[in-house]
């Protein structure tokens, strides 16, 4: 990858610009190949794992002035949307480049691939390797997937987004697979066999690579595709205007940028009222016409959107109990690194590969765990589900009703006798809720700065669903702000328990999936897992817990999944007491 070497081997007769072009292309090929060989769906090895000590990424020839100026292209996108360059530390600037490189997705060769040449799950198949063997619990199972297009020809390039699970319906058991893209139309999926019995394999194409090109374009070029609105009121006068992160400044605007975090937010200025008269924040709507006719054919239910791929041989293996003694697992403690697979269901109970989960099947067991504690649930509606679960399950926990608009919060519930307080609050904009008062629009980072912390303080955070329509840069910046506040909180009060819940998968409808889809969320989730890897927090891996489960995907997972999420959450707070 050394520029000098490339230069020396070139004949001098090539015109200068052609030569430069070739050098650039060579560098690009080298860089992308190296990257691809080191990354799979779940992780990147190599220098990527060292971002904290990583100085400037050497992606460009450093003697070129133009290149130095654009050293942080990810920042340019943010700065154009109102973020201030000065608010980033040097490490944060570098980290953004680094994370974007980590989640780089292979491009299909042409942006205008005809549908006939795009991935067709019905022509494609998977094959279990060595399916005739007898497997034992603890073994790896490998599956090859071969993709074909609609005309029945093998695909020659990768970039399809797949989800895969093994499962045994009679045992309500399930776990996810790790997908490796060979970039030639074939994919390998690794599973770990965790239970004995007849174990089935299911593979589904979530989006063909051709659809992902479209999703990428829409995500990155149309940050205005979802818009928001605010109401302004003074006396009897009310006005509504449109709001967003990247608002074209062709009209006068109100600048609601948060001074502490630097998170920008704008609304068009009302005609009569001042900006200070803003009373709420709400979802506005979705832009139409983002897809060209041909492109919409890459998003067809039952054809190439979230569609099962069939096996070309048996779709199951037989797994026997292992004579090898399973490693005995210890208590769950925060700071454990996330592995994949992080766990599996057995009899509808989520088990972790790293530690023992305790089951909180009775209200008393939860009350014992939470006694004397304040629980802060911060984020989107998928953590509000935790609030709702606790509120319903604990008879002595009483919710204050402030008459807030249904579902928007904030909520507080208390059990005075047991000194338990549970609070829920949504994260700051962008958030597609129906009606949040301006006064309740708090950024998680600022909220954390107001929490004293300590051993009776529990904080659970989830933030992802409302960011999947924005460029990933926006999400990275939000997490940097949250992480900074977490690190400060843990420095002043190291006993504070902080739990990060990851994203979960959802049902995909054709029209809606160009806005909210699993591929965008998968990218966000990879960023989250990476950014909080070395922080002393615990994870609840909702991503794997929703792919591994037998229930259909749903943005709001069903109670049995929430119950398991709560079990993982509480296992970090109140692990098994080893006898
Ligand atoms: C990375 O930085 C940390 C803390 O700044 C330090 O302890 C560690 O030794 C560094 N690692 C390398 C490979 O330089
Ligand atoms: C942002 O600031 C850094 C450090 O001052 C500087 O090196 C970089 O060129 C700036 N980037 C942009 C896009 O202004
Ligand atoms: C793609 O590459 C893998 C690994 O080298 C190989 O096993 C597979 O057969 C190849 N697939 C195609 C379609 O060439
Ligand atoms: C898949 O499993 C094989 C065999 O156990 C292992 O060598 C390989 O590293 C695994 N790949 C991933 C991406 O986990
Ligand atoms: C919005 O306000 C912030 C904070 O005062 C300021 O730094 C930024 O330049 C303003 N942005 C615009 C577009 O006016």
What number of other Cβ atoms are within 10 A of residue 376's Cβ? 20
Q: Rounded to the nearest whole angstrom, what is the distance from the C-alpha of residue 58 to the centroid of ligand 2?
A: 16
Choose the residue to mutate in 68, 70, 75 for probing ligand 2, maximizing ligand atoms within 8 Å of C-beta: 75
Kindly report, residue by residue over 206-240, the tens digit of the pLDDT. 999 999 999 999 998 888 899 999 999 999 999 99
Inter-residue contact 74 to 258 (CB < 8 Å): no
Could you tell me which residues come within 8 angstroms of residue 405 by beta carbon, excluding any fewer than 6 positions away? 434, 435, 436
Nearest to 423 by CA among 411, 434, 408, 431: 411
Residue 407: its pLDDT value, please? 85
- State whether the beta carbon of 89 lies less than 6 angstroms from ligand 5: no
- Whether residue 533 is predicted with pLDDT greater than 80 in this model: the reply is yes
Domains assigned to the chain: 115-213+296-320 (2.60.40.10), 226-286 (no CATH), 343-573 (3.40.50.1110)
Choose the residue to mutate in 65, 84, 93 for probing ligand 2, maximizing ligand atoms within 8 Å of C-beta: 93
Kindly report whether the peptide bond that precedes residue 430 is cis, defined as omega within 30 degrees of 0: yes
User: Hey, whose CA ends up nearest to atom 3 of ligand 2?
Assistant: 85
Could you tell me which residues come within 8 angstroms of residue 164 by beta carbon, excluding any fewer than 6 positions away? 143, 176, 177, 179, 189, 191, 201, 202, 203, 204
Inter-residue contact 157 to 163 (CB < 8 Å): no
Choose the residue to mutate in 164, 179, 190, 342 for probing ligand 4, maximizing ligand atoms within 8 Å of C-beta: 190
Kindly report, residue by residue over 36-87, the tens digit of the pLDDT. 333 333 333 333 333 322 222 222 233 333 434 456 889 988 998 899 999 9
**Sign of CA pseudo-dihedral 240, 245, 251, 252:** positive
Strand 266-268 to strand 253-255: parallel, antiparallel, or no bridges (unpaired)? antiparallel
Nearest to 52 by CA among 86, 85, 98, 84: 98
* Angle, vertex CA 471, rays to CA 466 and CA 475, nearest 5: 55
Residue 325: its pLDDT value, please? 64
User: Hey, whose CA ends up nearest to atom 6 of ligand 3?
Assistant: 186
Q: Is 275 helix (H, G, I), strand (E, B) or coil?
A: helix
Q: How far apart are CA 462 and CA 445, in angstroms?
A: 12
Least confident of 282-296, 376-390, 520-534: 282-296
Segment holding 544, helix H or strand E? helix 542-547
Kindly report, residue by residue over 341-357, the tens digit of the pLDDT. 999 999 999 999 999 99
- Please give the average per-residue pLDDT across 170-197, as a whole number: 97
> Where are the extended beta strands (E) located within 416-559?
420-426, 436-437, 457-462, 497-501, 538-540
pLDDT band at 289 (very low <50, low <70, confident <90, very high): confident
Q: How far apart are CA 19 and CA 24, in angstroms?
A: 9
Kindly report, residue by residue over 444-472, the tens digit of the pLDDT. 999 999 999 999 999 999 999 999 999 99
- State whether the beta carbon of 140 lies less than 6 angstroms from ligand 4: yes
Inter-residue contact 319 to 344 (CB < 8 Å): no
């Amino acid at each position: 990858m050394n520029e000098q070497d490339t230069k020396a081997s070139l004949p001098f007769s090539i015109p200068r610009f052609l030569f430069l072009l070739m050098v650039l292309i060579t560098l690009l090929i080298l860089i992308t190949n190296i990257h691809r060989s080191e990354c799979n769906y779940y992780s990147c090895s190599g220098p990527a794992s060292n971002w904290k000590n990583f100085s400037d990424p050497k992606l460009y020839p450093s003697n070129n002035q133009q290149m130095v100026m654009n050293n942080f292209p990810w920042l340019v996108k943010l700065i154009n949307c109102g973020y201030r360059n000065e608010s980033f530390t040097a490490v944060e600037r570098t980290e953004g480049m680094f994370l974007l490189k980590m989640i780089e997705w292979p491009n299909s060769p042409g942006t205008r691939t005809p549908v006939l040449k795009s991935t067709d799950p019905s022509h494609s198949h998977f094959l279990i390797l060595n399916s005739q063997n007898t497997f034992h619990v603890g073994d790896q199972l490998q599956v090859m997937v071969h993709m074909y297009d609609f005309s029945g020809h093998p695909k020659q390039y990768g970039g399809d987004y797949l989800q895969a699970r093994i499962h045994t319906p009679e045992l309500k058991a399930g776990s996810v697979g790790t997908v490796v893209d060979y970039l030639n139309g074939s994919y390998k999926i690794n599973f770990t066999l965790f239970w004995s019995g007849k174990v089935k394999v299911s593979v589904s194409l979530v989006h063909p690579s051709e659809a992902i090109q479209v999703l990428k374009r829409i995500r990155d070029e149309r940050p205005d595709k979802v818009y928001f609105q605010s109401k302004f009121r003074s006396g009897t006068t009310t006005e509504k205007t449109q709001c967003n992160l990247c608002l074209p400044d062709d009209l006068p605007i109100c600048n609601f940028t948060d001074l502490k975090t630097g998170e920008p937010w704008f609304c068009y200025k009302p005609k009569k009222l001042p900006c200070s008269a803003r009373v709420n924040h709400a979802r506005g709507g979705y832009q139409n016409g983002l897809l060209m006719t041909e492109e919409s054919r890459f998003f067809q239910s039952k054809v190439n959107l979230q569609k099962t791929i069939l096996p070309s041989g048996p779709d199951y293996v037989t797994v026997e109990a292992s004579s090898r003694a399973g490693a005995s697992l210890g208590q769950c403690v925060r700071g454990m690194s996330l592995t994949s697979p992080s766990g599996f269901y057995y009899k509808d109970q989520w088990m972790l590969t790293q530690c023992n989960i305790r089951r909180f099947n009775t209200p008393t067991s939860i009350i014992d765990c939470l006694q004397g504690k304040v629980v802060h649930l911060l984020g989107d509606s998928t953590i509000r589900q935790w609030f709702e679960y606790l509120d319903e399950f604990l008879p002595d926990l009483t919710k204050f009703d402030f008459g807030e608009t249904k579902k928007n919060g904030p909520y507080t519930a208390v059990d005075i006798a047991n000194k338990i307080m549970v609070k829920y609050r949504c994260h700051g904009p962008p958030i597609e809720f129906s009606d949040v008062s301006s006064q309740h629009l708090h950024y998680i980072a600022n909220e954390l700065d107001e929490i004293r912390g300590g051993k009776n303080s529990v904080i659970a955070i989830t933030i992802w669903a409302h960011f999947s329509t924005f460029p990933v840069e926006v999400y990275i910046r939000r997490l940097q702000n949250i992480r900074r506040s977490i690190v400060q909180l843990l420095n002043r009060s190291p006993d504070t328990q902080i739990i990060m819940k990851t994203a979960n998968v959802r049902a995909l409808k054709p029209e809606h999936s160009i806005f909210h889809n699993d591929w965008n969320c998968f990218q966000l989730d990879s960023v989250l897992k990476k950014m909080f890897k070395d922080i002393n927090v615990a994870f609840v891996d909702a991503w794997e817990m929703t792919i591994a489960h037998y229930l259909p995907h749903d943005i709001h997972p069903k109670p049995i999944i929430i119950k398991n999420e709560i079990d993982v959450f509480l296992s970090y707070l109140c692990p098994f007491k080893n006898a």
